[in-house]
Amino acid sequence: MTFKALLIDAYRQLSAAKLFWLTLGLSLIVVLAFGSISFNETGMSIFYGLGTIESDMIHEGSPWARGLYVGIYSNFLVTIWLSWIATVLALISTCTIFPEFVKSGAIELTLSKPISRIKLFFMKYVVSLLFVLLQVLVFCVGIFICVGLRIGEWNWAIFGAVPIVTIFYSYLFAVCVLVGMITRSGIASLLITGVFWMLLWTAQTAELALNRFSVGERVTIESFEQSVLEQEEELNALREKSPDDFRIENRQKRIDDMKEDIASAKDTFDKLIVWHEPVRIALIFLPKTGQTIGLLDRWLKDDSGFDIQAMMRGDMRSVEELEEFDSTTRFARKREASKRIHDDYSTRSLWYVVGTSLLFEGVILGLSAWFFCRRDF
Amino acid sequence: MAVIDIHGVEKTYKGKIHALRGVSLEVHDGEIFGLLGPNGAGKSTLVKILMTVINASKVSGTFLGHPIGHRPSLKKVGYLPEHHKFPQYLTAIQVLQFYGALSKVPKPIRTKRAYALLERLGLTGWEKKKVSTFSKGMRQRLGIAIALINDPDVVVLDEPTDGVDPVGRREIRDLLAELKTEGKAVFLNSHLLSELEMVCDRVAIMVKGQMTMQGTIDELTRESTRFEINVKGEVPDWAEQTFDDVRGTTLVKHGDDTSQLQSLIDQLRATNVTISSIEPKRESLEDLFMRAVDYIDNPGSVR
Ligand SMILES: Nc1ncnc2c1ncn2[C@@H]1O[C@H](COP(=O)(O)OP(=O)(O)OP(=O)(O)O)[C@@H](O)[C@H]1O
Ligand SMILES: [Mg+2]
């Protein structure tokens, strides 16, 4: 009964705020824009037929069309709209919930009810996530209908965004609550949460960049080493056959150059590791916002690999063509590195991505709860 | 039976403010108990300790038969905090519903009770209006309604008449009397002495975190009960010994023994003293209050 009362109260508080309806309205616009994309036999059209793009690969029924359409949702709408803009709006509208809750004059009556403080705190926390839950749910219903109508796929995994975005949001909201509990100020908690989010984002971006560089170097080392082995074999064969061949000198020089490149790549790699390791370890203990949101892309991916990230990586070529490639070219190495990076992040376990983040959230919430239970109001 | 029976309550706030210094008090079943004291005496602090809003540094005793801090027993307690702020986005009925639910009152009962209480507190017609549109006095009335939504055995009111107009005050006083006839105990805080005098069965006076007096108003003022006889002309010499006090032409006899008074009148009349008036006198709560405040400031000076 207490939980229900708090839930109803949370809903009334939210629906009394204009920002709630504004966010919902913006969501609707995003959904309508998304729904305006459609596919026909010769390509795709946007804005309900206002513009058309002809394409051999992206047209009605093609796997790339599915990859593109669902990919726009999981890569852009979720990452940009839900986990950026809507999250900022959500933080603005919910940052005052706890300061209001513990405001003198309001908290006394609530505390004098037959509910333990710790229970009260956690119930209030859970119902405060209602804002995000509702917003994302409404948004997902819209997307679900769009995807169903446009490419005939009634994919329930789209609703995966509801728990994912709510959990992602809760990492930030926990910090917001802690600051709100200590300062009793909505603005302070909004600002500090914003700073925290930025730091988190910076750390994650830095980790990604460092990871990318070091994987790049590793790919270079590996492919060059492989190539050196092959070429040395060839050279040995050549030497045995005709020791005076004019190509020997040239080839030997090429191998030596490559060995030099390997040495310098190893050097860079060692330097990068010194920076990458501490950031990577620090991130183990921090909430992984980006990777949490990335889970959705994993769940929505088509097994055949026709997805928007592959398009962006330049994988949009036939597989046979790729096998002809020399693995030491710059392009091949880059492609291999970004594939490895993608595989690295998309195979991290749920426990690592969500579990450790929730652990961090738990610690922050524990602190707030402890503060709430001990405090004289 | 005592509904509230606490002793040795101490509270030191952070920052070393010693708000309560060993307070003891007892509130009995079905009585209206008034706690008075000047600003900053620690009245609200004491109430908040009872309602588990703050933690006492030291406390022993019981509230509704359970130790202080026992949450389930708060189900049967109503509370009106001072300076309350109810959620502005709710209507009067919604506020009552919300706090009723937190007190675990089943929905059908609390809906019925909510309407009845609003009517009882003169808020008919305001049920569906947002709390943000209420005037101060109306909010106070709503606060009292909230304190009663769980049909409590004890009602704890921190300055119930704060901001209420004279008509409203009277209505609240009548309401308190009604609550008493329903068998509820009322514990209220106030510094409106005349008001307390009218409704309270027993009072306690607290000054600077200490209890100075406690008892029925009758008990507390009995000692000061006296007759004052005003005479015209000269005061006879023997009056000095017979009366307890002689102030100018006013002769004072302590106590409320009227038969003794008759013989004194006879004596005066026998010596041809003209009596202009005879008044039974008793200390008012205000005098008592002033005396209590004085006493703490200069212990030993009075009494
Ligand atoms: N949260 C707090 N932190 C620190 N000191 C406090 C706090 N609340 C009250 N005090 C101090 O405790 C003392 C008692 O305050 P309290 O509010 O109990 O007085 P009161 O008797 O209710 O006064 P009033 O008649 O003005 O309402 C005051 O000196 C006050 O400054
Ligand atoms: Mg007070």
Atom of ligand 1 nearest to the CA of B37: 21
Query: Which is it for strands B226-232 and B274-281: parallel, antiparallel or unpaired?
Result: antiparallel
What pLDDT sits at residue A325? 62
Residues A316/A310, Cβ–Cβ less than 8 Å:
yes
pLDDT given at position B299: 58
The pLDDT of residue A314 is: 62
Residue at A74 is within a domain: yes
Nearest CA to ligand 1 atom 18: B42
- Average of pLDDT values for B252-265? 85
pLDDT at B290 > cutoff 90:
no
Average pLDDT of every residue of chain B: 88
pLDDT at A174 over 60: yes
Any long-range contacts for A48-52 (C-beta under 8 Å, 24+ apart)? Answer: none
Residues of chain A above pLDDT 70, percent:
94
Contact B83 A104 (CB under 8 A): yes
- Return the pLDDT at B142: 94
Q: Lowest mean pLDDT: which of A123-132, A307-316, B95-104? A: A307-316
Full DSSP string of A32-81: HHHHT-EEETTEEEETTTTEEEE-SSSSTT-HHHHHHHHHIIIIIIIIII
Residue A215 within a domain: no
Q: Does B109 touch chain A (CB under 8 A)?
A: no
Domain ranges of chain B: 2-216, 226-281
Best residue among B10, B13, B289 to mutate for probing ligand 1's pocket (most ligand atoms within 8 Å of CB) is B13
Domain count, chain A: 1
Residue A321: pLDDT over 60: no
Considering chain A, what percentage of its residues have pLDDT values greater than 90?
42
Position A303 in a domain? no
Mean pLDDT of chain A: 87
The answer to whether the pTM exceeds 0.80 is yes
Domain contains A188: yes
Say which range, A301-315, B74-88, B143-157, B171-185, has the weakest mean pLDDT.
A301-315
Chain A CA closest to residue B70: A114
Question: In this model, does residue A319 exceed pLDDT 80?
Answer: no
Cross-strand bridge partners of residue B154:
B77, B185
- Say what the pLDDT of residue B302 is: 40
The pLDDT-based confidence of A215 (bands split at 50, 70, 90) is: very high
Residue A39 has pLDDT above 90, yes or no: no
Contacts for B161 with CB less than 8 Å, ≥ 6 apart: B140, B168, B169, B172, B190, B192, B195
Q: Is the CB of A105 less than 8 angstroms away from the CB of B97? A: no
Indicate yes or no: CB of B104 within 8 angstroms of CB of A104: no
| Confidence grade of residue B263 (pLDDT, cut at 50, 70, 90) | confident
A21 domain-assigned? yes
Greater model confidence, A316 or A50 = A50
B17 has a chain A CB within 8 A of its CB: no
Question: A111 in contact with B at a CB cutoff of 8 Å?
Answer: yes
Residue A335 within a domain: no
Task: Give the residue with greater pLDDT, B80 vs B294.
Answer: B80
pLDDT above 90 as % of chain B:
43
Q: Which pLDDT value is given to residue A315? A: 60
Q: Among A70-74, A131-135, A189-193, A264-268, which range has the highest average pLDDT?
A: A189-193
Task: Provide the pLDDT confidence category of residue B247 given band limits of 50, 70 and 90.
Answer: confident
Query: What's the CA gap between A374 and A111, in Å, rounded?
Result: 12
Domain that residue A168 falls in: 2-205+281-294+348-374
Burial B191-221 (b: 16+ CB within 10 A, else e): bebebbbbbbbbbbbbbbbbbbbbeebeebb
User: What pLDDT score does B184 carry?
Assistant: 92
pLDDT at A318: 43
Residues 6+ apart with CB under 8 A from B164: B137, B140, B141, B172
Torsion of CA A26, A31, A32, A36, to 10 degrees: 140
Say whether domain B2-216 belongs to CATH 3.40.50.300: yes
Whether residues A8 and B48 touch (CB distance < 8 A) is answered with no
| pLDDT at residue B260 is higher than 50 | yes
For A323-356, write each residue's pLDDT tens digit.
556 777 777 888 888 888 888 888 888 888 999 9
B258: pLDDT strictly greater than 50? yes
Give the pLDDT confidence score for residue A303 in this predicted structure: 67
Task: Enumerate residues 6+ apart whose C-beta is below 8 A from A128.
Answer: A10, A94, A97, A98, A173, A177
Q: What is the pLDDT of residues B148-207, one digit of tens each?
A: 999 999 999 999 888 888 888 888 899 999 999 999 999 999 878 887 888 899 999 998
